[in-house]
Amino acid sequence: MSDRETWTTRLGFILASVGSAVGLGNIWRFPFQTATNGGAAFLFVYLVAVVVIGLPAILAEFVVGRRAEMSAIGAFDELGHPGWRAVGALGVFAGFWTLSYYSVVGGWVIRYIGQAAMGSYGSNPKVFFGNVSAGPEAVALHALFMLLAVGIVAFGIEGGIERATKVMVPAIVLILVGLVGYGASLAGAGEAYDYFLTPDFGVIVANAPSVIPAAVGQALFSLSLGFAVMITYASYIDGDESLPVDGLSIAVTNTAIGILAGLVVFPLLFTQGVGPDTSGPGAVFIALPTALSDFGAAGRVVGVAFFVVILIAALSSAISLLEVAVSYLVDTHGFERRRTTAVLGVLLFLLGIPSAWDTAWLSWFDSIAVNLLLPVAVLLLVLFVGWVLAPDAVDELRIGSGDSFDDLAPLWLWSLRTVVLLAVLVTVALSVTELTGAPV
Ligand code: PFF
């Protein structure tokens, strides 16, 4: 496909991928996952999961995408394995599914920027969150968020996604670093750092069956794996750069930003005595406003900055999810990009209405996505790359990496076939058990 777009620079690809990885998962999901899974102990297992599972898995998606130069589903035809198209199809479906409720949370964030500017979250932030997170206003803000995502993706890879993420990712880092500085000046910072950064290994041992799958799931979700985003983004690479170097840069930046978010959230919570045990999706929207409303003018500035960061992060991830479906329809069916993006935006808006209407639906959509679709999709990808594509995958990974990688590439394949496969299998089994046991 000669007229297919590509990233203009290698940095453009890296920043777009970081933009995808850094999202609600880092700032909204990560703090409450940490809080419910034992604080620093969770952080430790998560870091191990990123290196041992996330990194090999992101390289698996990169290899498929760059070798095929084709979006999620067509990539498998292009590689000569049309029987495995289902892996791409599952990715496209799962991404679509996820974006429908991700956008609803994005809408809440827009709302909270306004609230933070006014410094008011109602007399009781919990009741307030209950009122604004579901219903007609949530539906309207979900529409607005979708519109923003459509507005970027409609302009394509270079003029839309690359251009936007080049500004968005540095903005996220700058604002977060400023906020970390503010967090460090708070009275509760010491206690918060201790909670967040000093692991109690007893907690890991005692709660391994729940902490490990939660950390693996968080690592996969946070690196935007399973939903064919990294296949799609890598398909737009024009060059022989070293994929392991790119993957490592993306994983390190993504993890660093997650940690920065924790260094902002926990000092605020500890200083106000709200405590870390803020389980559930309301964590950032209830506990944090509770803490912020006691900080006066500083609380407003910090609140606006914080919710703006979340919005940028959410949007730069949402566009990657939308791009997966758009690029499939454009590549495989020859549809026109702008119209396709707009139509998909409308369909996503409709699919998200139940989640915007009732948070029980949102939790259900989220748990199907993270506990079922994501680990199953990663499992299939690992089987495909580990066994079907295997020698070609190793060749592709070696490109641009110099001689030093001659030994590491087979090690990567071995890790996919053993550690990653095992971890994902266990995660699928445990997550599905949790799914069936969870109240909807
Ligand atoms: N990585 C994003 C986050 O942490 O919020 C979420 C995400 C985006 C997951 C895109 C999967 C994906 F394909």
426 part of a folded domain:
yes
Residue 2 lies in a domain: no
For 147, the domain range is: 10-434
- 45 falls within a domain: yes
pLDDT (0 to 100) of residue 433: 74
* Nearest C-alpha neighbor of 168 from the set 66, 253, 249: 253
Are 87 and 377 within 8 A, CB to CB?
A: yes
At residue 2, the pLDDT reads 54
**Does 3 map to a domain?**
no
Looking at the 3D structure of the chain, how many domains does it have?
1
Q: Return all residues near 65 (Cβ < 8 A) that are at least 6 apart.
A: 75, 230, 231, 232, 233, 234, 235, 237
Q: Residue 79 corresponds to which amino acid?
A: L
Q: How far apart are CA 419 and CA 145, in angstroms?
A: 38
Pocket test for ligand 1, best of 29, 98, 253 (most atoms within 8 A of CB): 98
Domain presence at residue 357? yes
DSSP string computed for 58-105: HHHHHHHHHHHTS-TTHHHHHTT-GGGHHHHHHHHHHHHHHHHHHHHH
| 258 located within any domain | yes
Which amino acids bring their CB within 6 angstroms of ligand 1? 20-21, 23-26, 95, 221-222, 224, 227, 229, 317, 320-321
323 within domain boundaries? yes
pTM beyond 0.85: yes
250, 244, 247: which is closest to 317 by C-alpha? 250
Residue 1: inside a domain: no
Q: Which two tokens stand for residue 142?
A: 């979900």
CATH number at residue 162: 1.10.4160
Nearest CA, atom 11, ligand 1: 224
**How does pLDDT run along the chain (440 residues), one tens digit per residue?**
457 899 999 999 999 999 999 999 888 788 778 878 888 888 899 999 999 999 999 999 999 999 999 999 999 999 999 999 999 999 999 999 999 999 999 999 999 999 999 988 888 888 899 889 999 999 999 999 999 999 999 999 999 999 999 999 999 999 999 999 999 999 999 999 998 888 888 878 888 777 888 888 889 999 999 999 999 999 999 988 999 999 999 999 999 999 999 899 889 888 877 766 555 666 788 878 888 877 788 889 999 999 999 999 999 999 999 999 999 999 999 999 999 999 999 999 999 999 999 999 998 998 899 888 999 999 999 999 999 999 999 999 999 877 777 778 899 999 999 999 999 998 888 877 766 654 43
User: Whose alpha carbon is nearest atom 12 of ligand 1?
Assistant: 224
Phi-psi category of residue 334: left, alpha or beta, with phi > 0 → left and psi -120 to 50 → alpha: left
Question: Using CA positions, which residue lies closest to atom 8 of ligand 1?
Answer: 224
Shortest CA distance to 102 belongs to which of 362, 333, 354?
362
